[in-house]
C-alpha cells in the first residue's frame, strides 16, 4: 500500500484503473497482446501521480467511462497525461471498431458487401452493399463508421473533454449537430 493522498487498494476505482493499465503494458499476452509496443509515461508509473492527474480529468468519475490512450495521440501508444482522456465505453468501443479493416464479402455475382455489427442498429448489424467494386464498399464502410462515431460523439458532446471532441472532429470527421 502506497503512502499518500490516494489509497492503493482493490476497492479504489482509481487503483483498479491504474493497476489494469500496468498489467496490460507489463504483461502483453493473451487478450493484451496488442499492448506489446505500448509504454507508460514515467509520470503514470507512480500511483499517486496518476491519481493526482486523473481526479482533474473530465469524466474520470463517470460510471461506464474508460481511459483512452490513442484518441489524443498520433500513434504513440503511450499511457500518459498528454495522451490520455476519459471517454464513454460506448465511444471507446466504436473507436476500436473504426480501426479495424472491414471483412469484405463477394457474392457469386461479383458484388461486394460488408456487415457492420453495432448496437446502434435495430437488428444489431447492418449490411452495406451490394457494390460493384471493393473500393466502393470500403468507402461506404468508412462513411458509416464516421456516421456512427458522429452520432455517439454528439450524444456526449457536452460531457466530453473538449480535447477528445476536437480529436474526433479532426481524425474521424465528426460533424456538429
Question: Does the pLDDT of residue 1 top 50, yes or no?
Answer: no
The three grid cell numbers given for residue 28, joined into one nine-digit string: 502483453
Provide the pLDDT for residue 150: 87
Distance CA 107, CA 92 (A): 32
Distance CA 138, CA 105 (A): 11
Is 140 or 5 the better-scoring residue by pLDDT? 140
pLDDT in tens, 46-59: 999 999 999 999 99
- CA 84 from chain centre, in angstroms, equals 11
The three grid cell numbers given for residue 91, joined into one nine-digit string: 465511444
pLDDT in tens, 138-177: 999 989 988 888 888 899 999 999 999 988 877 766 665 5
Distance CA 149, CA 168 (A): 8
User: What residues have CB less than 8 Å from 77, skipping those under 6 apart?
Assistant: 35, 37, 38, 39, 69, 70
Domain spans in the chain, listed from the N-terminal domain onward: 1-56, 65-78+85-172
Conformational region of residue 54, where left means phi above 0, alpha means psi within -120 to 50, and beta covers everything else = alpha
Phi first, then psi: give them for residue 116, nearest 5 degrees. -120, 120
Distance CA 138, CA 134 (A): 6
Alpha helix segments (H runs only) across 10-155:
13-26, 42-45, 47-54, 89-99, 134-155
- Of 132, 71, 138, nearest to 102 by C-alpha is 138
Helix count and strand count (H, E) for the chain: 6, 7
Contact 71, 164 (CB under 8 A): yes
Q: What is the pTM of this model?
A: 0.83
Distance CA 86, CA 102 (A): 27
Direct distance between the N- and C-terminal alpha carbons of the chain, in angstroms, rounded to an integer: 47
Amino acid at each position: 500500500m502506497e503512502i499518500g493522498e490516494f489509497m492503493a487498494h482493490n476497492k479504489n476505482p482509481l487503483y483498479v484503473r491504474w493497476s489494469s493499465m500496468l498489467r496490460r503494458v507489463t504483461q502483453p499476452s493473451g487478450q493484451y497482446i496488442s499492448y506489446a509496443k505500448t509504454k507508460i509515461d514515467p509520470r503514470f508509473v507512480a500511483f499517486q501521480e496518476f491519481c493526482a492527474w486523473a481526479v482533474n480529468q473530465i469524466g474520470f468519475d463517470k460510471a461506464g467511462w474508460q481511459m483512452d490512450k490513442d484518441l489524443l495521440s498520433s500513434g504513440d501508444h503511450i499511457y500518459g497525461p498528454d495522451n490520455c482522456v476519459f471517454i464513454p465505453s460506448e465511444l471507446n468501443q466504436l473507436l476500436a471498431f473504426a480501426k479495424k479493416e472491414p471483412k469484405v464479402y463477394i457474392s457469386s455475382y461479383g458484388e461486394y458487401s460488408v456487415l457492420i455489427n453495432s448496437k446502434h442498429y435495430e437488428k444489431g448489424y447492418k449490411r452495406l452493399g451490394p457494390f460493384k467494386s471493393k473500393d466502393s464498399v470500403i468507402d461506404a464502410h468508412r462513411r458509416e463508421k464516421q456516421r456512427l462515431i458522429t452520432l455517439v460523439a454528439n450524444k456526449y458532446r457536452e460531457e466530453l473533454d473538449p480535447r477528445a471532441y476536437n480529436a474526433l472532429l479532426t481524425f474521424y470527421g465528426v460533424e456538429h449537430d
